Amino acid sequence: MAKMTLEQLRKLREEKKGDMVRRDVEGKNIQIIVGMGTCGIAAGAKQTFDEIVKVVDENKMTADVIIRQTGCMGLCHVEPTVEIVMPGMPATIYGKVDVPTAREIVIKHVVGKTLVENHIYDRPAVDIVKK
């Protein structure tokens, strides 16, 4: 994009805000968000990310799923962490997601709409921007 003016910045913000809200609430899309801070990467987040891409592909869901990366959400003791936001399911944060668990999560949670035991963690704080 070329350099923006004030007007364009405001417009872009509203537009993108809409995008994010739509994804969070109605969620036509399924979002899989992998924590890729140094702590996550050190714990194997890149392998986790690759496995998710692979399993999503195997299940022919590439058209519905966005796989994103984000920074550290603070749960360093259970890295790698993966958050799943999708319609019909509460937004869920999984921790200690190694390669086999990543596969299990895509198959059970994303495809089967059931939660995966023993890997769920809590978001550490409310979102002050949304509030």
> Which residues lie near another protein (CB under 8 A)?
1-6, 9-10, 12-13, 16-17, 19-20, 35, 37-39, 41, 68-78, 81, 83, 88, 90, 95-96, 113-129, 131
Q: What's the min distance (Å) between Cβ of 45 and another protein?
A: 11
Show Cβ contacts of residue 110 under 8 Å, excluding neighbours closer than 6 positions.
Answer: 30, 32, 56, 59, 61, 65, 84, 86
**Smaller CB separation from another protein, 46 or 103:** 46
**Smaller CB separation from another protein, 31 or 59:** 31
The Cα 38–Cα 33 span in angstroms is 15
Asked if 23 and 29 count as a contact pair (C-beta separation under 8 A), the reply is yes
Pairing of strands 30-35, 82-86: antiparallel
Q: What's the min distance (Å) between Cβ of 76 and another protein?
A: 4
**Smaller CB separation from another protein, 1 or 63:** 1
**Smaller CB separation from another protein, 45 or 56:** 45
Q: What's the min distance (Å) between Cβ of 15 and another protein?
A: 8
Q: What's the min distance (Å) between Cβ of 47 and another protein?
A: 16
Q: Estimate to the nearest angstrom the gap between the alpha carbon of 13 and the chain centroid.
A: 21
CA atoms within 13 A on the CB side of 8: 5
